[in-house]
C-alpha cells in the first residue's frame, strides 16, 4: 500500500509539477535562423525523453508551426554520442501504469503534430538513434545521419515491451510489415548504412565532428527554403503525402486538388509560372 501511494505521489508530481519543471529544466533548445527552426533534444548523456521533455518539444513544434518565418524544422540531439536513446527508463520505473499510458498518448500526439505540421521536418541523426529516439526520427519527413556515429533500431523487446510511440506503425509503413516485424522482434540494432538501404535514412553525411555535421545538415535543410524553393509548396507536398497515404485513394486525390488550389492562389505560384515563361530563375518568398 505504501508503495502504491508512493507511485501515486510520484505520478502526481510529474503531472501537477510539469509547468514548474519546464521552467526549471530546459530540455529543448530552440532557435530560428534563415527560415530554419533548430530544435535540439538536450538531456545528456543520451538525450532520453521524459514527460517534461515531450511537453517542451510539443510546445516548440507548435511555436514553429505558427511562426511564419519558419520554413523547415531540423531536429538534432545535443552532443556527439546520441541523437536520442528513447524514453527515460528511470522515469518510467517510478510511475504508475496509468501514467505510462498517458505519457505514451501525449508522445503519440506530439509526434503526430510534428508529422502533420505543413512544414518540412528533418531529423539530423548525429549519434545513436534507438528505441523512442528512432520513433521520434521516423516522425520526421527526412532523415540524414552522420556516417559512423552510431546505431539505430527498436530494441524494446529486450525490455519486454513494444515500441510504443508509433514505432510499430511507422516502421511497418516505411519498410514493409514482414521486415518491420523481423527488426522489432529481434530487437536488432544496425548501422546507418543499413538504415539507408532499408529506406530509414535519406542521406549519410561524412563529417569529422558534430559541429561539422550540424553545419552540413543545416546546409541540406536550406535547399528547401526560399528563395531557391517555394517553401509553401514543399509543405503542401508533405501534407499531400503524409495525409494522403492514410486515406482512400479517391479522397487522397481530392486532398491533392484542394492543396493545389491553395498553391495556385499563392504569390510563389505566380512567380514560378512567370519565371518559367520568361526563362529566368524564380525568386520565391514563401507567400
Q: 136 burial class (0-12, 13-18, 19+ CB within 10 angstroms)? A: buried
User: Among 135, 188, 256, 258, which one carries the catalytic annotation?
Assistant: 135
* 229, burial (CB in 10 Å: exposed 0-12, middle 13-18, buried 19+): buried
Is 156 designated active site? yes
The cell for 241 is 503525402
| Rounded Cα distance, 126 and 78, in Å | 9
- CA distances to 30, 64, 74, 195, 196 from 147, rounded to whole Å, are 25, 28, 18, 11, 11
Give Cα 264 distance to the centre of its chain: 29
Could you write out the DSSP letters of every residue in 83-128?
Answer: EE--B-HHHHHHS-HHHHHHHHHHHHHHHHHHHHSSSEEEEEE-SE
* Catalytic residue of the set 98, 156, 250, 283: 156
Burial class (CB in 10 A: 0-12, 13-18, 19+), 9: exposed
Q: Which residues are catalytic?
A: 135, 156
Amino acid at each position: 500500500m505504501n508503495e502504491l501511494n508512493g507511485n501515486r505521489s510520484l505520478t502526481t508530481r510529474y503531472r501537477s509539477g510539469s509547468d514548474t519543471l519546464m521552467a526549471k529544466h530546459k530540455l529543448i533548445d530552440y532557435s530560428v535562423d534563415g527560415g530554419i527552426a533548430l530544435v535540439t533534444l538536450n538531456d545528456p548523456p543520451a538525450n532520453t525523453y521524459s514527460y517534461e521533455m515531450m511537453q517542451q518539444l510539443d510546445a516548440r513544434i507548435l511555436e514553429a508551426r505558427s511562426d511564419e518565418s519558419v520554413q523547415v524544422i531540423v531536429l538534432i540531439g545535443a552532443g556527439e554520442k546520441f541523437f536520442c536513446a528513447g524514453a527515460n527508463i528511470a522515469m518510467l520505473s517510478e510511475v504508475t501504469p496509468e501514467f505510462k499510458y498517458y505519457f505514451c498518448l501525449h508522445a503519440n500526439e506530439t509526434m503526430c503534430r510534428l508529422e502533420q505540421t505543413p512544414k518540412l521536418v528533418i531529423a539530423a541523426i548525429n549519434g545513436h538513434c534507438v528505441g523512442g529516439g528512432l520513433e521520434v526520427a521516423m516522425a520526421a519527413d527526412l532523415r540524414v545521419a552522420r556516417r559512423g556515429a552510431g546505431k539505430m533500431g527498436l530494441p524494446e523487446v529486450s525490455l519486454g515491451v513494444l515500441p510504443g510511440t508509433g514505432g510499430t506503425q511507422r516502421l511497418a509503413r516505411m519498410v514493409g510489415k514482414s521486415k518491420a516485424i523481423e527488426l522489432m522482434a529481434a530487437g536488432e540494432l544496425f548501422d546507418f548504412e543499413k538504415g539507408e538501404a532499408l529506406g530509414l535514412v535519406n542521406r549519410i553525411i561524412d563529417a569529422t565532428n558534430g559541429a561539422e555535421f550540424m553545419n552540413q545538415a543545416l546546409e541540406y535543410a536550406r535547399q528547401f527554403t526560399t528563395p531557391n524553393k517555394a517553401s509553401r509548396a514543399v509543405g503542401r507536398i508533405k501534407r499531400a503525402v503524409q495525409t494522403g497515404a492514410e486515406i482512400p485513394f479517391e479522397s487522397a486525390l481530392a486532398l491533392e486538388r484542394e492543396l493545389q488550389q491553395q498553391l495556385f492562389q499563392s504569390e510563389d505560384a505566380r512567380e514560378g509560372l512567370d519565371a518559367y515563361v520568361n526563362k529566368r530563375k524564380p525568386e520565391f518568398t514563401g507567400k
